[in-house]
Amino acid sequence: MSSALVNEAVRRDFFICLGIWLSLEMLVFGVLPLVGLAPLGSDFILLLTASLVLGIVGAVLLSFGVWMGLKSRAAGDRLLRFFVRLLGQLTSWLGLLGIAFPLLVMSIGIFTNVFSILIR
């Protein structure tokens, strides 16, 4: 695979991940508190900062995992190709965890509100 195609695939995946993460950020930290489904707590700034860092790092890790997967095709040794591809997949999954962090925050906030209403 040519270097230009690899760079284009990595760049495309990076910007797609950033777009998904940014839409989740706006939903979780913008829309849901305005609607009242996820009230702003004392740890709002901490969660927002953690989400900003994890989202950007997650997008970088995911695109790096894609790059490793595409570059593993050029590896000559079959065992080396397997381990590079496995490391690329693990890196991509770690990146997805960083990108999906706002979903975790949203889920915890909504379920905490629902259970507090049910317990009353």
Residue 1 has pLDDT above 60, yes or no: no
Torsion of CA 89, 90, 94, 96, to 10 degrees: 20
Number of domains in the chain: 1
Overall pTM > 0.85: no
Which of residues 15 and 70 earns the better pLDDT score? 15
Residue 111 has pLDDT above 70, yes or no: yes
Domain span at residue 83?
A: 3-119
Which amino acid is residue 59, in one-letter code? A
- Measured CA to CA in angstroms, residue 113 lies from 33, 38, 110 at distances of 12, 7, 5
Cβ atoms within 10 Å of 120's Cβ, excluding its own = 5
Please give the mean pLDDT across all residues of the chain: 86
Residue 5 has pLDDT above 60, yes or no: yes
In this structure, is the dihedral angle defined by the CA atoms of residues 8, 9, 10 and 13, taken in order, positive or negative? positive
Tokens 């979903």 belong to which residue? 103
Q: What pLDDT score does 76 carry?
A: 74
